Structure 1
Amino acid sequence: MINKTVSVSQSLLCVGFAGVFSKTVTSPLEVVKILSQIGTFHCKRGFLHSFVFICQNEGLRAFWKGNMVSCLRLFPYSAIHLATYKK
């Protein structure tokens, strides 16, 4: 028989990894959004142009600059948020 319950630690790990995954997947959109908000020169022609411009000038890795640090912050934040929300 398989135990179908999830322990608290498993639940916290799942939520932490889900937060990291969602942050990593949406990072390119966040980069373009933030550059548009601060008004950099290449963002004045639209979202798609900004996306292509960044990709051509800085490469694909530019979309994930700072993602690791953000994920290190997000993992415990997501887990703590779930733990306090459930109670």
Structure 2
Amino acid sequence: MGRPEAYEIWPNFEPVYKKEEYVWTVLSKLGEVLLLNCGQCEGPSDIRHSICRKCVMDRTKIAAEDYYETTGKLKDKWPIVILCRVFKW
């Protein structure tokens, strides 16, 4: 679009997620990635929107803390974060 302010037009919404709705994995040719499930949220799932950006920052911090507890390695930044909507049919 080329207009960053366009994402602020999205109707008001509150981020909706469960603390454990994420997973990290290794994908071929990408390396370690973090997947965040935005399935119940009514937002655009796009970090160009300020509410989504804050939500992603908060959730990546939670995942980094869990990553450290699980692996013993610090994770300062996830190289790739994928926002997705996972539904059960």
| TM-score scaled by length of structure 2 | 0.30
Compare the two structures and name the one with the higher helix fraction.
1
Whose relative contact order is higher, 1 or 2, with alpha carbons under 8 Å and at least 6 apart? 1
